[in-house]
Amino acid sequence: MQKLWLKSYEDTVPASIDYPGIPLPQLLFETVQRFPNSPALIYYGRTITYQQLDRLSNRLANALIELGVQKGDRVAIMLPNLPQCVIAYFGALKAGAIVVQTNPLYVERELEHQITDSGAETIIALDLFYEKIARIRHRVPLKHIILTGAGDYLPLILKLLYPIKQMMEGQRVRVPHKPPIHDFVKLLNRTEAVQPIVPVKPEDTALLQYTGGTTGVPKGVMLSHNNLVANAYQCRTWMPSLRDGEEIFLGVIPFFHVYGLSTCMNLGILVGGCLVLLPRFNTEDVLKTIVKYKVTVFMGVQAMYVAINNYPRIGKFDLSSIRICISGAGPLHVEVQERFEELTGGKLVEGYGLSEASPVTHCTPIYGKRKKGCIGLPFPDTDVKIVDQETGQRELPVGEIGELVVHGPQVMKGYWKKEDETKNVLRDGWLFTGDMARVDEEGYFTIVDRKKDMIKTRGENVYPREVEEVLFRHPKIKDAVVVGLPDSFSVEVIKAYVVLKDREHATAEEIINYCAKELAKFKIPKFIEFRKELPKTMVGKVLRRVLLDEELQKNEELKKKG
């Protein structure tokens, strides 16, 4: 396919980029040379400059080497967005290790699988997770457990008060700090701040990013230093209005997910921005943080923007400092986008990607033309095709729906220890995304839906996103998701799970009648279930599989009773 999208690029965005070909820690090193005394991290009032971040990560790298970590060893990081998370990430990379980002919400079974599958012998974790780690310790290859507290890098007064807060909330953890268990801060204090010399090549694996595992067993996506550096430069190029050394990034999107890692942490450090860290999303805390630090860049997910849009006292907060926001990890509905832009005066656009692509491949132009429901245009140096879903070999013309496949410098090396699955999704360098999409004559791509989420009903294909767009336009609906439930003879029925706005009331009949005015008969949900909230991942993706499993379990129970 001719690169139709290039003619739709903003004038300041080039078709191709000259990538530096460096290992990832070099991004930090170069920013330290430019902005040594500028704030790199702010954590509840505690500021860490770029020079301090560099030295702290050097200390950790040296500590890991002293513990026996060698080039290519895997180091798991199980931390929310704390200063230690950033220190650990760069420290492990400087030691030549491969980082294994680990979701702090993992249950023991998930944690055991990831540690065993990756072969990680070292884990850096929050002390609150110690008991969980201890229970699986003898079933996994862990040799070293490095623990840190959420209060370790707080300002002095808050640090003194933090133990009292822990006791009041019943979160006080007593950990035996003796080998193989180590205290993070003490470990750093006894090592040198000089950078270790470990020969790391740009093509070496930097990160094992495990896919969500909402279906099947999670797989480790191998992302090289080149992949991650390239995606950071692509993000930077897409946002030419970013001001080096001046931007304030809201660091609330989890860094253990590659979306937050690339678009917030890596990008923020590339441009010498300040990352204001929040360990979890709380709407009022986020609003106060935006106002206090005059946040200019906010990478998030739709659920975060929905929460802000619907906050009861939103008018009391001056959000005018916000300039650029990107919503990822799922669709951004136009009603959410427009309302957020009204509140802030900034730009909120939709991006698209997947863990296997570091993760971003597409984004709507920040200041250019946008189209309703579109994920925008491919990034520079990213080639894209729409192919038939049966063979994956026939490229489809403009307007036709098929599977989205991408090729570019951000595409993964493959899946960790899974050659067959790698061959299935990586074919001649092209990544088969599993997403159904189409492209228009101007090169704008629209995700119709996940191939596996497509609903087959009475001989017709229904894409959940189209139905969800209609539901989001209902004035009483705050959140919604659509699922296909098995019926009979390979037919599915459509069920919508709906969360109403505060103090709103609606009936299933009302919602169905509303859909009937907007959708063809076969696309109208047959069932409506009202919920207080929808099951989601830490980054805001709705877990359709959880909802489907609940329905299947209900059916089984009814059969037994019948």
Percent share of the chain, pLDDT over 90: 73
The continuous run of DSSP H or E covering 470 comes out as helix 464-472
106 close to 89: Cβ distance less than 8 angstroms: no
Rounded to whole angstroms, the Cα distance separating 47 from 121 reads 32
Please give the pLDDT value at position 169. 66
Rounded to whole angstroms, the Cα distance separating 131 from 120 reads 18
At 118-171, the pLDDT tens digits run 999 999 999 999 999 999 999 999 999 999 998 899 887 776 666 666 666 666
Phi, psi of 207 (to 5 degrees): -145, 135
- Between the alpha carbon of residue 311 and those of residues 283, 303, 307, 318, 479, the distances in Å are 7, 12, 6, 13, 14
114 close to 87: Cβ distance less than 8 angstroms: no
C-alpha 206 chain-centroid distance: 17
Residue 135 contacts by C-beta under 8 Å, 6 or more apart in sequence?
A: 108
Domains 49-200 and 454-561 belong to one CATH topology: no
Domain 49-200 has CATH 3.40.50.980: yes
Residue 489 has pLDDT above 50, yes or no: no
Q: Is 169 helix (H, G, I), strand (E, B) or coil?
A: coil
Domain range summary for the chain, segments of one domain joined by +: 49-200, 454-561
**Top-tier CATH class for 454-561:** alpha beta
At 435-444, the pLDDT tens digits run 889 999 999 9
Phi, psi of 343 (to 5 degrees): -70, -35
Cα torsion angle, 507, 513, 519, 522, sign: positive
Please give the pLDDT value at position 469. 83
At 172-200, the pLDDT tens digits run 677 777 889 999 999 999 999 999 999 99
Place of tokens 């070909």: 21
Residue 367 contacts by C-beta under 8 Å, 6 or more apart in sequence?
A: 10, 241, 347
At 307-345, the pLDDT tens digits run 999 999 999 999 999 999 999 877 788 889 999 999 999
113, 115, 116, 119 alpha-carbon torsion, rounded to 10°: 150
378 close to 409: Cβ distance less than 8 angstroms: no
> In the predicted model, what is the mean pLDDT of residues 87-111?
93
Rounded to whole angstroms, the Cα distance separating 348 from 366 reads 8
Rounded to whole angstroms, the Cα distance separating 163 from 527 reads 49
Residue 212 has pLDDT above 80, yes or no: no
Q: Is 331 helix (H, G, I), strand (E, B) or coil?
A: coil
221 close to 356: Cβ distance less than 8 angstroms: yes
pTM strictly above 0.85: no
